[in-house]
Structure 1
Amino acid sequence: MSDDGRGLILVVEDDPAIADLVQRYLLREGFGVHLEKDGAAALAAVRRLRPAAVILDVGLPSMDGIEICRTLRADGDWTPILFVTARDDEVDRVLGLELGGDDYVTKPFSPRELVARVRTVLRRGPTAAEVLEVGRVRVDMTQRRAWANEVEIALTSTEFDLLAQLMRRPNHVFERRQLLSTVWGYSVTGTRTVDVHVAQLRAKLGEASPIRTVRGIGYAADRP
């Protein structure tokens, strides 16, 4: 089904009942939807259709969701990816996020929550020009681009939003739950997701990273 204006969402799910349910909710919210149930076919669809985002089941025939994400990121494709997994296991979640996934939901999930999270990863920056600088890191909110030591770095949509949130208020300490609410748009019991994304940001920013951990509280972007 073609894109209707809000963006085409590629749904990769081998359970027909779940795929149909997700498709109906996305269509209801005005998104275009394309369905795939096989990993290899899904990878080809991402490259062919250039969707706005991918809802990606982890357990798939021929190529699992983790391998699809790994392949896309290695190719420099940073299409937002939201993982869907039946494995209620922290290792799987962390692995997916470290590979460049933007978010995850665990089955069984609320279709309304899934759609809300899709909206979050598709969120764009302000229309007015805005450039943020903290130390040796700079982000352009309009173009959604980031640099560290004058070298451009590739960030996922969620990594970019997290970095921008920290840099908007230099030296301010953000609690983990506050970051979950403002960046991800929801609140959950565990805050490991925040820690994983911060670790990934630090790895990409290298020695230029301005992010400071405040033990037991959260994080801040410190201005020298």
Structure 2
Amino acid sequence: GLLQPSTGSVKVFGEELTGINKRAGYMFQSEALMPWRSALQNVIAGLQYRGMEEPEAKQLGEEWLARVGLQGFGDRFPHQLSGGMRKRVALAQTLILDPDIILMDEPFSALDIQTRQLMENEVLALWSAKKKAVLFITHDLDEAIAMSDRVIVLSAGPGTHPIGEFVIDLERPRDVAEIRSDPRFVELHQQIWSVLRDEVLKGYQQQKKIA
């Protein structure tokens, strides 16, 4: 709902979308934390915009900070938190609104591998508790396979379009680090990479021309 489609239409749960999609929550690659607000105040911002009373919003905010492992950090400001902790605040900020659809655009790409795997497992745990619809954009094939039920491969731009779709039939619950040694994971990785390889090379060549 942030942009109007140039052609066609957008439907959410069978209904045509008009205005902002209030059933979706967004978590982007770059943080949307407000530097003048504490972690708790950032988490409850959306609830406040919806008109929830302050005491109720704060109670929910504290509960969500605890769920993402930040109990006791509610009074810290973003500059006082590590990159991984700020991502946890952003995750709580998104999920506290209980969206039916969660849109995640490379949310963990800037994190070190250990923190990234912890965050991925947290998302999986939170997802398994409520079974929300999650659309997760990533350039990391391991991340895509480890977290997903379905992986859709897009062509290199411009004019990107789907060129492959794979069902990820790995058992749940999963640990994103341990699942990488599963023989089926290795098999899926080889299958998807065979489709993705040429597109990665195309994208690389395009970047070289621009540079």
Give the structure with the larger helix fraction. 2
Q: Which has the higher contact order (CA 8 A, sep 6+)?
A: 2
TM (norm. structure 2) is: 0.33
TM-score under structure 1 length normalisation: 0.31
